């Protein structure tokens, strides 16, 4: 297997290490939240507001836009060694992203304050949702910064952001206890500090620029963004609608909280295996595709699928069978192979 410094498996180790630390802190965070808030209507409202901000962040700032932006930026970088296209394209995307965030924030504020909310829980969720808007904006900007970092081959700093934000969460829970508004303020402060911290490192290679004129390259990015939204947004919408349906159909205090706590069990393997490998592989695939090396694209995809399949299967076996079950399966596989064969 390729051993170059930018090989996705090596980068996945960096992302995976930070992701593992973040997920462990997230588990501790959720345990503390469960101990303080339990399955209560207050935590139901908090989860509804938080998942709404997470939905907008993943659609606008991290997953879908990055999937369309990274290949175009990589193509621009390879087309010109001085990278003028990178600055122009990034500035245009940044400008349109800011305008989109401003529009979404205004609409969210109107819906939160003028919506037909009934009962304390819905009113609290709407109020918390408005207060989460700065957090959503900062995380969208961090997703944009992450794309620039990844194209430059820098993975450690953006991967560490979720770990630091979880530290802010833990500090907020410890200091604020059951004061939910204070907890939101601490979480927002964590998002703002991380966005500023990442930009402080990014400004050595890219500084904030606004570009009101949309270039043909940027138009191609937005054309690619729409099908990516339809392809990838389904999961994010389903995760949010799960909470909405739990609130609408069950309605009792703790329904959304219970669903949230149950779903958190899957975050460790999902982030440690799938997301870290995908984030490390995608910029390299864009680089190979921009160079026209389709054979290398297929090779890197095969390697990524092999890593994800091997690790996820092993984790599933260990989760359900423990050390004994994993050892038993590996022994059967070893017997099925010829002497000196490869698994």
pLDDT score of 307 = 75
The C-alpha R_g of the chain, in whole angstroms, comes to 22
pLDDT score of 276 = 66
Q: How far apart are the first and last CA of the chain?
A: 15
Answer whether 329's CB lies under 8 Å from 315's CB. no
Model-level pTM?
Answer: 0.75
Q: Which residue has the tokens 């390299």?
A: 284
Closest by alpha carbon to 97, among 146, 130, 51?
Answer: 146
Model confidence at 46, pLDDT cuts 50, 70, 90, reads very high
pLDDT score of 1 = 42
Q: Distance between CA 95 and CA 78 in Å, rounded?
A: 23
Model confidence at 135, pLDDT cuts 50, 70, 90, reads very high
pLDDT score of 65 = 67
- DSSP symbol at 59: I
Q: 117: alpha, beta or left, given left = phi > 0 and alpha = psi -120 to 50?
A: beta
| Cα dist from 5 to 71, 113, 142, 274, 293, whole Å | 20, 51, 24, 21, 19
Most distant pair of Cα atoms in the chain: their distance: 71
Please tell me which residue, 208 or 56, carries the higher pLDDT value.
Answer: 208
pLDDT score of 130 = 92
Q: Distance between CA 119 and CA 4 in Å, rounded?
A: 58
- DSSP symbol at 270: I
Task: Report residue 87 CA to chain centroid gap.
Answer: 24
**pLDDT, tens digit, 9 for 90 and up, residues 240-285:** 788 888 877 776 778 888 888 877 766 666 666 666 676 667 667 7
Closest by alpha carbon to 282, among 190, 197, 155, 181?
Answer: 155
Structure tokens at 306: 């092999």
Q: Distance between CA 180 and CA 314 in Å, rounded?
A: 39
Please tell me which residue, 127 or 240, carries the higher pLDDT value.
Answer: 127
pLDDT score of 338 = 63
pLDDT score of 324 = 83
| Cα dist from 268 to 12, 21, 22, 77, 219, whole Å | 15, 10, 9, 34, 37
Query: What is the chain's mean pLDDT, rounded?
Result: 79
Mean pLDDT of 209-217: 83
Residue 276 φ/ψ, nearest 5 degrees: -65, -40
Q: Distance between CA 133 and CA 27 in Å, rounded?
A: 24
């Amino acid at each position: 297997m390729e051993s170059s410094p930018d090989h996705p498996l090596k980068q996945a180790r960096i992302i995976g290490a930070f992701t593992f630390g973040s997920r462990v802190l997230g588990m501790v965070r959720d345990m503390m939240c469960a101990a303080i808030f339990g399955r209560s209507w207050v935590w139901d409202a908090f989860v509804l507001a938080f998942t709404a901000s997470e939905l907008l962040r993943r659609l606008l700032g991290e997953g879908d836009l990055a999937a369309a932006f990274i290949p175009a930026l990589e193509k621009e970088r390879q087309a010109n060694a001085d990278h003028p296209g990178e600055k122009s394209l990034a500035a245009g995307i940044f400008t349109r992203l800011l305008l989109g965030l401003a529009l979404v924030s205004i609409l969210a504020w109107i819906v939160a304050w003028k919506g037909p909310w009934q009962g304390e829980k819905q009113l609290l969720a709407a109020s918390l949702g408005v207060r989460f808007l700065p957090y959503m904006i900062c995380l969208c900007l961090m997703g944009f910064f992450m794309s620039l970092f990844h194209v430059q081959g820098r993975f450690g700093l953006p991967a560490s952001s979720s770990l630091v934000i979880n530290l802010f969460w833990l500090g907020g829970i410890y200091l604020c206890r059951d004061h939910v508004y204070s907890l939101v303020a601490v979480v927002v402060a964590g998002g703002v500090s991380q966005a500023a911290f990442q930009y402080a490192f990014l400004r050595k290679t890219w500084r904030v620029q606004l570009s009101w004129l949309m270039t043909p390259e940027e138009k191609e990015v937005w054309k690619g963004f729409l099908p990516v939204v339809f392809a990838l947004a389904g999961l994010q919408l389903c995760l949010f609608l799960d909470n909405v349906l739990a609130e609408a159909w069950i309605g009792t205090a703790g329904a959304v909280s219970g669903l949230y706590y149950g779903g958190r069990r899957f975050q460790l393997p999902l982030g440690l295996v799938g997301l870290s490998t995908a984030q490390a592989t995608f910029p390299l695939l864009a680089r190979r595709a921009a160079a026209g090396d389709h054979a290398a694209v297929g090779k890197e995809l095969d390697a990524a699928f092999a890593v994800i399949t091997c690790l996820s299967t092993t984790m599933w076996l260990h989760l359900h069978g423990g050390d004994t079950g994993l050892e038993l399966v590996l022994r059967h596989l070893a017997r099925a192979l010829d002497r000196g064969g490869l698994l």
